[in-house]
Structure 1
Amino acid sequence: MAVLSIEQHPSLPPVGDALAGALGTVFANICVYPLDVVKTRTQVAKDSEDDTAATSKPKAKSTVAAVLDLIKSPSEAYAGLFGSLIGNASTSMVFFYFHTLFKTHAAKRFSTDGKLSIPADLAVGALAGAIAQIFTIPVNVATTLQQTLPPSRRQDLMATCRTIVQSDGVIGLWKGLGASLVLCVNPAITYGFFEKVRESLYGNTGGKLTPGQAFVVGAISKAIATIVTYPYIMAKVRLQAGAEAANPLVDGTLQEKENAITVLQKVLKRDGLKGWYRGLDAQIYKAVLTQAILFYAKEHFTRYTILMWAMARNMRAKVAAR
C-alpha cells in the first residue's frame, strides 16, 4: 500500500489534529514516564529534616537517588501512569483542537496570505495552552499526588480527586493553575532561542535544517527555556503535591493558601538557591526527550489520522449515495 502523503490531504479538522496530537502525546508519555516520576519526586524533596510532611514524601535528594529508588522498586516506575496518560492526552487534545481552531480563524481574519506572523502564532499557541491547562489541570494535580505518595497511602485516580475535594474543596483540583498559566510562555521562549541557536550553530540556512540539525537546535532551545522557567515549574509541582504543608491525604486538614511566589520564598529560605533548581537535570532530559518523541510520533499519527479521516469520509459518501 502506498504511503499517504500529508500534502495530498493537507487539512484535518480541529478534532482530527487533536486526535493525532493526543496519540503522539500518549506514546511519548509512556516512553519517558519513569523519568517523569523521578523528576516529580526530586522536585518535591526537601533538604530540611524538620519537614512536617516528611513521613509522606519521598526521601530522594537528587536525581541519582530517585533513579536508584526506582531500580529497587521497579513497580514504582509507573506510579500514577493511568492518570498521567488521561491528563496528557486530554491536555494535548484540548491544545491541538483550540490551536488549530484559533489559527485557522486568525489566518482568515488577520492575514492576506493565510499565514500568521511569528508573534501572532506564538500568541495563538499561548492562548490554546492556557485553555488546555484550565480544562485539564485537575487530572494533573491528582497524578502528581499519586507519583509522590508512598504505595500504602496511594489511591486510584477518582479516589484521589474525591479526597482532594474533601480536604480543600473543589478549588483544590486547580492547585498550581496560576503557575501553569505563566508557564504557557515556555514555547515562546523556546522559539525565540531556536532562531538564535540556529544562527549561532549553522549560520544563515534560509530556514532549512536537516532533521538532525533541527533536533540539536530544538533540544538546546528547549533546555534553555526550561532553565529560564524552571523555578516556576518546580513551584507548580510542589503546590500540586502539597509539599509545603502537611499532606491533606494524610491528616485531612485545610492548609494555608499557597501560590508560586510564596513557595519560591519558602524554598529559598529553607534550601537556598539550589532548592529552586533541584531536579533540573531530570526535567531537561524529560522535556527534550518528550518533545523529540512527540514530534516524531505526531508526524506518523497525523498520517494515519488523515487516512482514517479519508476512509470515514468515503464511507459516509457511499452511505449517502445509497
Structure 2
Amino acid sequence: MGVDLESISEASSGAIGSLLSTTILYPLDTCKTKYQAEVQTHGQRKYRNLSDVLWEAVSTGQVLSLYQGLGTKNLQSFIAQFVYFYGYSYFKRLYLENSGSKSIGTKVNLILAAGAGACTAIVTQPLDTASSRMQTSAFGKSKGLWKTLTEGTLSDAFDGLGISLLLTSNPAIQYTVFDQLKQRLLKQKLKKADHDSSPVVLSAFTAFLLGAISKSIATFLTYPAIRCKVMIQAADPEDDDDDDKTKRAQSKSRKTVSGVVSAIWRREGILGFFKGLDAQITKTVLSSALLLMIKEKITAITWVLILAIRRSLLLRNGRLKNV
C-alpha cells in the first residue's frame, strides 16, 4: 500500500494548528487546570474564580510559571493531533473506498472519530498525565518531564486512561458536528459559485465560529468526566502540616474515579461536577476554534509541500536510475 499523502497532509496541518493554539492559550490553560483541580475543604477554597489563579502568579512574581509544562503539553498536543487527524482521515478514506459510499453518515462518523480518539489516548496518556501534574504543581515548583514520569510507577503514568477513553466521545462529537456543518456550508457555496472559479473553502471566521459551536456542545456534555480526569492527574498536594502518610492517602484517593466522585459529592455537591465549566468552555472553545481555523488555512500549504517533496524524490530516483 502506498503512502497516504492526503492523510499525512490532514495530520500535519492538524498537528501544526494544535501546536500554535496550545502555545497561544497556555497561560489560560494553566489557570483553568489549577482551578479545576482544587476541591473545597471545610467550606473554604483557595481559588474562588479563575482570576484568583492568575493573581497568585502575579503577586508571587511567578508569572513565567504560567508556562510550566508548556514543552510537555506541546509535545503531547502535537503527537495527539497528528495521530488523531491521521487516524480519522485514514479511517474515513478506508470506509469510503470499501463501502462505495460518497458520504459518511453521523453514526459512522462518530465511530471513526471515537476509534481515532482511542488510539490517540493510549499513545499520549503518559504525556497527558505529566503535563497535568506539571501544571497543577505549586508555581515555581514544577518538575521536569523525565522526573515527573519516573517518580511513580508505570501505572501512575497512565492515570485517568479510562476516563480519557471515555472522553473520546468529546472530539468525536466536536469534529462530527464541525464536519457536518462544514459540508452543508460548502454545498451552499458550491451552488452559488461558478464552475471555473477557484476551490470553495471556509473563511477563517466561519471556521472559527463552527469550531466554537461544535466544541461548546461537546464540552457541556462531557464536563463532569473532564473535571474528574483533571483531579485524578493533578500533582500531589503540597502541605507542610500533613505527614507523608496523609499525603499518600490523599493522593491515592485522588487517583481513583470513585474517590474523586465521592470527594466532589461530599464537599461541593452536584454543582461541584460543573465547577470551572465556564473556564473550560472558554479555553477549549478558543483552542479548538483556533486549531480548526489554522488547520483549514494551512492544509493547502502542507498539501503543496508534500507534493513538492514527493516530486523531488521521484526526480532524484529517476536520475539515480539513469546513472
1:186 has 2:179 as partner: no
1:69 to 56, 75, 78: 56
TM-score by length of 1: 0.80
CA distance in 1 between counterparts of 2:254 and 2:71 reads 29
Partner of 1:299: 296
1:127-276 aligned within 5 A: 127-151=115-139, 153-164=141-152, 169-190=153-174, 208=188, 211=203, 212=205, 215-216=208-209, 218-241=211-234, 253=248, 255-256=252-253, 258-276=255-273
* Kept in 1: contact 2:18–2:291 (CA 8 A): yes
**What runs of 5+ residues in structure 2 fail to find an aligned partner?**
190-201
**How far is the alpha carbon of 1:95 from its aligned partner?**
0.7
CA distance in 2 between counterparts of 1:37 and 1:81 reads 9
CA distance in 2 between counterparts of 1:257 and 1:230 reads 18
* Kept in 1: contact 2:254–2:260 (CA 8 A): no
Deviations 1:236-272 (A, max 9, x none): 010011569999xx87958358433441222111122
Residues 282/207 of structure 1: CA separation in 2 closer, same or farther (3 Å cut) = farther
* Kept in 2: contact 1:244–1:263 (CA 8 A): no
Partner of 2:276: 279
CA distance in 1 between counterparts of 2:110 and 2:63 reads 40
CA distance in 2 between counterparts of 1:292 and 1:87 reads 19
CA distance in 2 between counterparts of 1:304 and 1:205 reads 22
Partner of 1:20: 13
State the superposition RMSD in angstroms. Answer: 3.1
**How far is the alpha carbon of 1:84 from its aligned partner?**
0.3
Partner of 2:68: 79
**How far is the alpha carbon of 1:306 from its aligned partner?**
1.3
CA distance in 2 between counterparts of 1:181 and 1:246 reads 32
Residues 70/304 of structure 1: CA separation in 2 closer, same or farther (3 Å cut) = farther
Partner of 1:5: none
* Kept in 2: contact 1:42–1:63 (CA 8 A): yes
**How far is the alpha carbon of 1:307 from its aligned partner?**
2.0
Partner of 1:7: none
TM-score by length of 2: 0.80
CA distance in 2 between counterparts of 1:298 and 1:257 reads 36
Paired-residue identity, % = 29
Aligned length: 293
